[in-house]
Structure 1
Amino acid sequence: MIPRGPMLEQIGKYKIVGKIGQGAMGEVYRAQDSVLNREVAIKIISSELGADDALRKRFQREAQSAARLNHPNIITVYDYGEEQGKIYMAMELLDGADLKQAIARRAPLSLDDKLSIVDQIAEGLAFAHSHEIVHRDLKPANVHLLGNGQVKIMDFGLARLGGSEMTRAGMVMGTPHYMSPEQVRGERAEARSDVFALGCVFYELLTYQKPFDADSMHSVLFKVMQEDPRPLRETTPEVPAVLAQVVERAMAKDATQRFQNASEFRSALHRAMQAVAAGRGDAALPELAPPPPGPAAPRTAARGAESSGAASGARSASAIREGTPAAPRSTAPARPAAASTSKLPLVGALIGAIVAVAVGGFLFARRGVSAPPPPPPVTRPAQVDPLAQELARSQVELARRRAQAGDFRDALRQAERALKIDPTNKDAQEILSRAKATADEVDKAAGAARQASAAGDAASAASAVWTLLQKEPANAAVDELAPKVDASFRPRAEEARRGMAQARQGAEAMRAATALDTFKEGADLARQGDAELKAGRSVAAARRFLAARDRFERAARSAK
């Protein structure tokens, strides 16, 4: 690694602000681009790797390749350089957390949340594969979740550098749990190797268990080579069979039996998602007709604009995300859609989405999962209008339910989708306005909390954290500042406990409420809150008590 000593202050045109983390390849810093006046992440390669001339040249080639991958689902590489023997790469600075962290704490993701994540990973990989670039080390730690739901694949090129070093030493390259059998055998990694890794990530995201896990690296590699993972539906029976088939095919031992690239994987995923939306979750994947020729589910210009906002506008995290502010980035150009030869695909897509709402709210177009976009209003066939209006109303209902559940960020996204379909929908406009106001309030509170903490004002920081807990308990600033405000936060935790106890009494007054699962969840959360409070973790305790209060109130409402 880079020798320890005084913290680096400057490298190239970048002024170092602070250290973000350290990994096998080197160290990552937050830095300020003094020319363009923006924050970036700087990855400095370890001195051991940098001392090898062949590796340095290879890293430079890979950095150039990564810089060509201008796509909303791939981290942007801005610059590469070498100074005083240190090799560095300047990249987009991201907010949020990686997928590994979300899986580790079993983030409460819905099925369509998970499908959106996998779909976005596949889209980014498909773009890389179309440029003949293979990741080689796809894993949850290399998938970043932004606060607005957008996904970024990281470490393109760096994985190749690691692979080069391992290959030279006669070792296997990659991360054992996600390596394909051919990588374990020391063979060249290709697009199908990325597909295998994507299948492993998909399996783990659906089940919160690694498909190949053991106590030692040797045992893990043996399982990758010789054993099939436990059937996905044994682990998680609620996963539709058609989705399990996509996962199983992606993880086939024989590379020829897998999807041949990420684009093929994504096409199958979309067919499976549409089958689930139509109530055919038990369909056999080969029975589902492939989509017409052309680019798979291209992003619309509107989605491109949404992606641009992802990096610059999302300052706080949702239930699955936490981390640092994002640096501004430019909008990646949208890829053109294939010319339509029939009006039927659009009608079918709209009908499928409406059926999805009717069977339980599963909407395959949610959170960035690209569905066939409606044409511009000037060319839209008149007979489609009623269907489009119905789809917009369904989206508004989803937005309203998310707002009632306290998930204002998801309500905002759902309202935006409704307005893309029907810009005149007044209900969607109202929900969007309220959700944006709440988001602004939360973002201001998060900023105030951080500023107060940095200034040593624990009381003001605690007050801002209390606001965050009531508006967005999973906000990144809460966990970030909890250790600094715990000592002064106990009175608020006790206040939250009193509110929880009052809500519990109200629910217990209705006998039917105590038999509901939501009441039992509240009781569990209350016990966890007591344990956190006893351990001196006042912020965590307050969060548990507030969540328990909500469960008790929900149980009481349901029992009326």
Structure 2
Amino acid sequence: MAVEPLLSPGEKATEKVRFGNFEVMNDPEGRPVLLGKGTFGRTYQARHCFLDIIVALKIITERYVADAAVRQRFLTEARAVAKLSHPHIARLYDFGEKDGVLHYAMEYCGGGSLADHVAKNGPLPLRRTIEIAQQISGALKCAHTAGFIHRDLKPSNIMLTAPDGRPFAKLIDFGLVQPSVPGATRSFADDQSADGARFLGTPLFASPEQLREEPMDVRTDLFSLGMTLW
């Protein structure tokens, strides 16, 4: 089945689009439900055809389907998340490839992102901000202990749920993940993709060393967390 309808946000799907055991869900007007998009991938709401659970299905954008560097980064992201087990990191369910398009399914968080929440409701109360800060700090500690730097911590990469009425944050999008162990830092040449871009990240939340394209360690994520809370 061609994946073109899925890669054209806003267009109606002529048929259900399926990746492995996952079927992309459509809105009432027949358009795929787009949850988010970035430079290298888009995330859609999907359903596991057999287990009947809702997931967030991320696929590489059409532009980068054949980009070896982006494909490797996509796989690196999935492998990193698969190694992490923490209540405040969205779980990875599956990884696969269909017609040359890499994709993976992860935990669906129905409360939207922290960025969306603040844009709609304004700044969070101090107590709730502290709770979310503690939760994401725990997620970062898990990633750092496992040897990973997130490198793109920002409000839009923090998803919210409220299973018992209390704020429950989950860290997502490890697309720029980098090893944090000594000697494992990748060069910025490894970060270049087909468009020749060097800096990868979000300037408003990036640490000074990230902006200067210097070696990074776990403090990079702590700086980004501070910017997010601010």
With structure 2 as the length reference, what TM-score do the two structures score?
A: 0.78
Distance apart, 1:106 and its partner CA: 4.5
Structure 2 counterpart SS, 1:103: helix
Alignment of 1:448-459 (within 5 A): none
1:164 & 1:144 partners in 2: Cα distance? Answer: 26
Distance apart, 1:36 and its partner CA: 2.5
Residue matched to 2:185? none
2:73 & 2:127 partners in 1: Cα distance? Answer: 39
Q: Given the alignment of the two structures, is residue 175 of structure 1 paired with residue 221 of structure 2, yes or no?
A: no
Structure 1 counterpart SS, 2:75: helix
Q: Given the alignment of the two structures, is residue 117 of structure 1 paired with residue 132 of structure 2, yes or no?
A: yes
Distance apart, 1:167 and its partner CA: 10
- Choose from 56, 65, 68 the match for 2:83: 68
1:34 & 1:106 partners in 2: Cα distance? Answer: 35
Q: Is the 8 A contact 2:46 2:57 kept in 1?
A: yes
Residue matched to 1:357? none
Residue matched to 2:145? 130
1:160 & 1:128 partners in 2: Cα distance? Answer: 10
- Structure 1 residues 68 and 177 mapped into 2: Cα distance closer, same or farther (>3 Å)? same
Deviation per CA, 1:485-508: give whole Å up to 9, x if none. xxxxxxxxxxxxxxxxxxxxxxxx
Residue matched to 1:154? 172
- Structure 1 residues 106 and 59 mapped into 2: Cα distance closer, same or farther (>3 Å)? same
Give structure 1 stretches of 5+ with no counterpart. 204-560
- Structure 1 residues 82 and 152 mapped into 2: Cα distance closer, same or farther (>3 Å)? same
- Between the aligned residues of both structures, percent identity stands at 34
- Structure 1 residues 153 and 85 mapped into 2: Cα distance closer, same or farther (>3 Å)? same
Q: Given the alignment of the two structures, is residue 145 of structure 1 paired with residue 145 of structure 2, yes or no?
A: no
2:176 & 2:203 partners in 1: Cα distance? Answer: 13
Residue matched to 2:229? 202
The residue identity in structure 1 corresponding to 2:170 is K
Distance apart, 1:35 and its partner CA: 3.1
Distance apart, 1:92 and its partner CA: 0.6
Deviation per CA, 1:41-84: give whole Å up to 9, x if none. 11111122221123313321321111121110001111111101
Q: Is the 8 A contact 1:166 1:172 kept in 2?
A: no
1:66 & 1:184 partners in 2: Cα distance? Answer: 25
Alignment of 1:537-552 (within 5 A): none
The residue identity in structure 1 corresponding to 2:176 is A
Deviation per CA, 1:276-328: give whole Å up to 9, x if none. xxxxxxxxxxxxxxxxxxxxxxxxxxxxxxxxxxxxxxxxxxxxxxxxxxxxx
Alignment of 1:102-113 (within 5 A): 102-107=117-122, 109-113=124-128
Deviation per CA, 1:204-233: give whole Å up to 9, x if none. xxxxxxxxxxxxxxxxxxxxxxxxxxxxxx
Q: Given the alignment of the two structures, is residue 82 of structure 1 paired with residue 97 of structure 2, yes or no?
A: yes
Give structure 2 stretches of 5+ with no counterpart. 27-32, 179-189
1:68 & 1:142 partners in 2: Cα distance? Answer: 19
Structure 1 counterpart SS, 2:204: helix
Residue matched to 1:42? 57
Q: Which has the higher strand share?
A: 2
Q: Is the 8 A contact 2:55 2:108 kept in 1?
A: yes
RMSD between aligned residues: 2.4
2:193 & 2:72 partners in 1: Cα distance? Answer: 16
Structure 1 counterpart SS, 2:131: helix
Q: Given the alignment of the two structures, is residue 17 of structure 1 paired with residue 34 of structure 2, yes or no?
A: no
2:123 & 2:213 partners in 1: Cα distance? Answer: 37
1:54 & 1:175 partners in 2: Cα distance? Answer: 19
Higher relative contact order (CA 8 A, sep 6+): 2
1:36 & 1:165 partners in 2: Cα distance? Answer: 38
Deviation per CA, 1:471-491: give whole Å up to 9, x if none. xxxxxxxxxxxxxxxxxxxxx
Alignment of 1:135-284 (within 5 A): 135-147=150-162, 148=165, 149-156=167-174, 158-160=175-177, 164-165=191-192, 169-203=196-230
Alignment of 1:355-504 (within 5 A): none
Q: Is the 8 A contact 1:173 1:186 kept in 2?
A: no
Q: Which has the higher helix share?
A: 1
Structure 1 counterpart SS, 2:93: strand
- Structure 1 residues 168 and 69 mapped into 2: Cα distance closer, same or farther (>3 Å)? farther
- Structure 1 residues 15 and 188 mapped into 2: Cα distance closer, same or farther (>3 Å)? same
Structure 2 counterpart SS, 1:159: coil
Q: How many residues align?
A: 201
1:167 & 1:181 partners in 2: Cα distance? Answer: 25
- Choose from 88, 91, 104 the match for 2:106: 91
Q: Which has the larger radius of gyration?
A: 1
Q: Is the 8 A contact 2:55 2:107 kept in 1?
A: yes
- Structure 1 residues 57 and 15 mapped into 2: Cα distance closer, same or farther (>3 Å)? same
Runs of 4+ in 1 over 4 A off after TM superposition: none
- Structure 1 residues 196 and 133 mapped into 2: Cα distance closer, same or farther (>3 Å)? same
Structure 2 counterpart SS, 1:94: coil
Q: Is the 8 A contact 1:137 1:159 kept in 2?
A: yes
- Structure 1 residues 37 and 170 mapped into 2: Cα distance closer, same or farther (>3 Å)? closer
Distance apart, 1:166 and its partner CA: 5.8
With structure 1 as the length reference, what TM-score do the two structures score?
A: 0.34
- Structure 1 residues 168 and 47 mapped into 2: Cα distance closer, same or farther (>3 Å)? closer
